[in-house]
């Protein structure tokens, strides 16, 4: 794989994304992320997903998004399928957010089981409305599922961006730490999660998220035939 790396040891799969200045999410990135999850699932490993220094992801690849409406929606649909997979993954997924997380980067946070951010001048949020995109149905479902109502309105309708501390309140992070403690903290959380009964973890996750996953499937189908 060229843009995504994976290391698996002691039932922990560390997956890292490195694709240009803003860690753009492209078809190739999604293909490689899914391949990495395949490996993690086969190894029955807890996942730690991270970006590169300063950024998790700034969102979808602009070249594809600006090519045509058909191309844009095809990428958005594939991205929604990936985050839907995250929400139903058989093993815990931890995101170690290495900085900014915007648009699809923020949706990745909303789709993980545990999210760790870092202190610093970083922004997290959904900027679709600010850049002229009507929020897609799957995006609305992801945000509604994890965000308190008042922050949902501020984020989805008003494209408000949040610093790390406010991003905890908004539902994007579970905790924030100093940058040099990010991976150590993620590894500590992974160690705790390895003690879970994974059959019970997955069964409970699916049961609790059943309505959400059904709504996501419907939303992805609608998005695949609509325009932004």
Q: State pLDDT tens for residues 191-208.
A: 999 999 999 999 999 999
The pLDDT of residue 225 is 85
User: Which position has the token pair 């860690």?
Assistant: 23
Nearest-angstrom CA–CA distance, 189 and 183 = 10
Give the C-alpha separation, 60 to 93, whole Å: 21
E strand residue ranges, 81-173: 93-96, 99-102, 114-118, 124-125
Q: Once rounded to an integer, what is the mean pLDDT over residues 167-191?
A: 98
Q: What pLDDT is attached to residue 69?
A: 86
Q: What is the pTM of this model?
A: 0.96
pLDDT-derived band at 227 (thresholds 50, 70, 90) equals: low
Q: Which domains does the chain have, with CATH numbers?
A: 4-223 (3.90.226.10)
Q: 166 is written with which tokens? A: 């406010």
Q: Give residue 228's pLDDT band: very low, low, confident or very high (50, 70, 90).
A: low
Average pLDDT, the chain: 96
Mean of pLDDT values over 205-218: 97
Give pLDDT tens digits for 123-138. 999 999 999 999 999 9
């Amino acid at each position: 794989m060229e843009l995504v790396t994976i290391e698996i040891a002691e039932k922990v799969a560390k997956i890292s994304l490195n694709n240009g200045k803003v860690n753009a999410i492209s078809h190739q990135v999604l293909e490689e992320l899914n391949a990495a999850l395949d490996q993690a699932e086969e190894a029955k490993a807890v996942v730690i997903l991270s970006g590169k220094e300063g950024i998790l992801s700034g969102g979808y690849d602009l070249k594809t998004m600006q090519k045509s409406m058909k191309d844009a929606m095809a990428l958005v649909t594939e991205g929604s399928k990936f985050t839907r997979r995250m929400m139903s993954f058989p093993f815990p997924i931890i995101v170690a957010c290495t900085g900014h997380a915007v648009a699809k980067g923020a949706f990745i946070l909303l789709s993980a089981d545990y999210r760790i951010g870092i202190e610093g001048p970083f922004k997290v949020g959904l900027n679709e409305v600010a850049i002229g995109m009507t929020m897609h149905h799957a995006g609305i479902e992801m945000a509604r599922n994890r965000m308190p109502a008042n922050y949902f309105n501020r984020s989805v309708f008003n494209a408000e961006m949040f610093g790390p501390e406010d991003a905890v309140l908004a539902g994007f992070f579970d905790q924030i730490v100093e940058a040099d403690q990010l991976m150590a903290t993620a590894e500590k959380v992974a160690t705790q999660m390895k003690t879970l009964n994974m059959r019970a973890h997955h069964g409970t996750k699916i049961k609790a998220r059943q309505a959400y996953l059904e709504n996501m499937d419907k939303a992805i189908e609608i998005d695949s035939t609509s325009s932004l």
